[in-house]
Amino acid sequence: MKNVILRNIENPSSHRIEEYIKAGGYFAIEHALNEMTPRDIIDDIKKSGLRGRGGAGFLTGTKWQFASLDPKFPKYIVCNADEGEPGTFKDRVILERNPHQLIEGMVIAAYALQSVRGYIYVRAEYPQAEKILNEAIKEAYEKGFLGNDIMSKHFRFHLSVHRGAGAYICGEETALINSLEGRRGEPRIKPPFPVNAGAWAKPTIVNNVETFANIPYIIETSPKAYSFLGTKDSPGTKLFCVSGAVNNPGVYELAFGTPLREIIYDHCGGIRGGRALKGVIPGGLSTSILTPDKIDCPMDFASLAKHGSMLGSGAIIVLDDTMCIVKIYERAMRFFEHESCGKCTPCREGTGWMRTILGRIEDGMADMEDLATLEDVALNVAGKTFCPLGDGAAHVLLSAMKHYRGEFEYHVKYKKCEVTDPSHRWGHLSMGELD
C-alpha cells in the first residue's frame, strides 16, 4: 500500500525541509503555481472526492468552492490541529514528522482561494509539535514557500501558529474560530457557515491536519490516481490510530475500506494477552461502540454509518473482556461533562446528570429506575444542542446501554461488577509496593 500521508516517515529527519524536498515535497506547489488556475485546483480536489478527516467527512472540494464563490475578501485558511477527540493521535504524527506536507497543502489551498493569511490552531497539549511546526514554518519562509512572493509568482501567503489553551470544544470549527479571535471557545450557530462568515466574519475554510496533508498528493498525481485508492464513497487512505488492548498500538496508514478485523488482528497483532474482544470504539470516544460481531465492518464513512457508528477521526479504541463498560462510560461522561462549554443547557446539565447516575450504578447505589432515567436524560440531550458534543455524549451512552444492557443491569441488581472485582487494577499495573 502506498503511503500518501506518511510518505518518507521512515526517515528520522523527515520533519526537515531538505529531506521533504528530497522526497519530492513542494513539487505540488510548483506545479500548481506554474500550471494551474485556482479554479483548476478546486476542480481537482472536487474530482478526487477528498473528504474531511476531522470527523464529519464533508467534501473538501465543495467546502473550498463555497468559500471561493463568496465575494468577500480577505479569505482565511485555518488548519484545525486541535486534536482532542479521545483516542486520536494521528495529527500529532503529521505535525511532528511531516509538517511540511501540511504547510504545502495549506499553501495550495491559499492559492486556490486567493487567501493571503493562514493559521494553524495547535492544541496546548502538543508542545513538541508546536516547536517542530514553528521551525518548519521558518524553514518554509527561508526557502520561499511562504512569504510575499512565493516562488517568484507574485503570490503571497503568511502562516503562523495559534496555540489553544486546553478545551476539547475548540476542535469544533466555529468554537475554534471564536478561540482564534480571542474569545471563549463556544460554538456559533450555523448558518452562517465559516465558508461565508468565519474568522473575523470573512470567508474561512477550516480543515483538519490530515485533510491538508492529502492535498499535495492529489495535485502532483491526479484526482483519478487518488480516488483509485480507498472506496468509491471514501477515496484515499486514512490514518487509523489504534489504542487499548492490542499488541501493537499505533498509527497505521491504510486504504479506506480496510476491515476493522484486519486492522486489529493483522496490523495490530491481535488482542493483548490472547484475551477475548469485548468491543471497539471505532472513531474516537464520541462514536458509538461496536460489538465483536461487527468487526468485519469496512472502515469507511458509509460502512460505519450502516453499522450504527461513525468513522469520526479514525481513532480505534479496543476493549477486551476484562474491562467494565459501566466504568468506561462513567469515565467517558466525566470527560463530556468537563468539556461541555456550558452554552446549551441540555448539554451542560445533562452530561453532569448522566455522569452522576453512571457513578451511582458503578458504586452499586442504583435501582432499575435509574437506568430509565439515564436513558431519558440522554434522549433529552440528543438533538437539542448547538454543536455535536451533547449529541455525541448522549448517543455513545445510549448505544453502550443498548449493546451491553446486561452489564448495566448486573451492576444494579447485584451491586457489583460482572467482569472486575473491587480490588481489580486496570491495565497491567500493579500497586504492589503501595498496598
**Residue 154 CB partners (closer than 8 Å, separation 6+):** none
Nearer to other proteins, 241 or 290 (CB): 241
CB of 357 to other proteins, least distance (A): 18
CB of 81 to other proteins, least distance (A): 10
246 vs 295: CA distance, rounded Å: 14
Q: Count CB-CB contacts under 10 A for residue 187.
A: 22
CB of 200 to other proteins, least distance (A): 6
Tell me how far CA of residue 392 lies from CA of 11, 281, 287, 396, in angstroms.
38, 13, 7, 6
CB of 129 to other proteins, least distance (A): 9
Tell me how far CA of residue 329 lies from CA of 333, 393, 427, in angstroms.
6, 10, 16
Nearer to other proteins, 27 or 335 (CB): 335
Nearer to other proteins, 164 or 390 (CB): 164
Nearer to other proteins, 126 or 404 (CB): 126
Contact 350, 397 (CB under 8 A): no
Contact 122, 99 (CB under 8 A): no
Nearer to other proteins, 186 or 300 (CB): 186
Least Cα distance to 66 among 191, 205, 230, 252 occurs for: 205
Nearer to other proteins, 67 or 229 (CB): 67
CB of 175 to other proteins, least distance (A): 10
User: Which residue blocks in 23-124 are alpha helix, DSSP H?
Assistant: 27-35, 38-48, 60-69, 90-97, 99-113
CB of 319 to other proteins, least distance (A): 7
CB of 10 to other proteins, least distance (A): 17
Nearer to other proteins, 286 or 385 (CB): 286
Tell me the CB-side half-sphere exposure of residue 376, using CA atoms within 13 A: 7
93 vs 139: CA distance, rounded Å: 19
The DSSP-derived string for 235-275 is: BSEEEEEEEESBSS-EEEEEETT-BHHIIIIIIS-SBGGG-
